[in-house]
Amino acid sequence: MIKKILITFSLLYLAAIWLAYPLQYLPVYIPIYVPGYISVLSAITFFMYAWDKRQAKRSSHTKVNRTPERTLQLLALFGGWPGALLAQQLLRHKSQKRRFIIVLWLCVLVNVAAMGGLYFFV
């Protein structure tokens, strides 16, 4: 149940930011590339999670370079959190580490608050 809610939340957020421009819910001076930026960064974040999951599976056999958790968290903080949530739920990667999950949700809150602030206070 939670898995479906988180996937839906991520996809609805992406849809909302894409619809905000044609429906004129965001101020005119906010650059039009913001939805594209968030979508591309989400895709990059998803693929970074997938790559790290692949490397984690291979690490039991050989020594491999893993993606640092800090990199995944920074991608989420800079706007790629929808991709991070999708990857966490669909790939079941980094979904058990409590500290990592807390930091990810802080990134989600910061991003949603920033977009909400643009909508309500600008």
Determine the Cα–Cα distance for residues 91 and 68; give it in Å rounded to an integer: 17
Determine the Cα–Cα distance for residues 34 and 93; give it in Å rounded to an integer: 27
pTM here is: 0.87
**Domains in the chain: how many in total?**
1
* Residues whose CB falls within 8 Å of the CB of residue 34, separated by 6 or more in sequence, listed in order: 17, 26
* Residues whose CB falls within 8 Å of the CB of residue 79, separated by 6 or more in sequence, listed in order: 37, 38, 41, 42, 111
Residue 89 belongs to what domain range? 1-121
pLDDT in tens, 34-85: 888 999 999 999 999 999 988 888 877 777 788 889 999 999 999 999 999 9
